[in-house]
Chains A and B, each alone.
Chain A
């Protein structure tokens, strides 16, 4: 039973356009949500996070939106760049980083 779901295995976007990556979760006890980016042959790197008390967090080109009632979050990348091409993992954790769960990932391809 997947507690964190990313239903789109892959996504292709034209350079300069918006990339929207979606994530759904089932456990209402999750307190903190994170997005990680992973390039081939490298470990995941932290991208952006959001606490359950917020509905939006922005960092440069990256914005994460959280809809607690729908148990849904999304990552927006604007404008998308070819260097953004990677696998993006959504992750969720409980209080103090317990019960840390990753989604299966979405492969983003940004086309020049």
Chain B
């Protein structure tokens, strides 16, 4: 158990819809990272927040957005969903060092 929690575990929705994925980092960790893993592909970095502020941006689509709240939990919002958005979405947290601790992931299926 990494200490990072993600909800929901599974999400099934239709094209064009909007969903919100939630992540609670390890206690004390200020950094939260979001990743997408599609069809046995490597982890694609989406975005990083540090203590409520966006720190780094990766391959995140404009239809996707994220935020980190004062209690340090983070949400990833995916809108105008397409079939290709079906993937595992992982959240990770760190205390500012290089090691990241990953949550169990949210499996999103877009039908």
Contact = CB atoms under 8 A, between A and B. Distances in A.
Given A45-B102, A49-B99, A101 B55 contact: no
B90 A44 contact: yes
Interface in A42-60: 42-46, 49
Interface string A1-21: 000001000000000000000
A107 to B, nearest CB: 8
A32 interface: yes
B102 A43 contact: yes
A43 B42 contact: no
B25 interface: no
A104 B42 CA distance: 4
Nearest to B95: A97
Interface size class of A (residues with CB under 8 A): 20 to 34
Given A42-B104, A45-B2, A45-B102, A100 B45 contact: yes
B12 to A, nearest CB: 16
A34 interface: yes
A42 B108 CA distance: 14
B43 A102 contact: yes
Given A99-B56, A103-B42, A104-B41, A43 B103 contact: yes
A43 B105 contact: yes
Contacts of B100: 46, 97, 100
Nearest to B105: A43
B43 A44 contact: yes
A104 B56 CA distance: 20
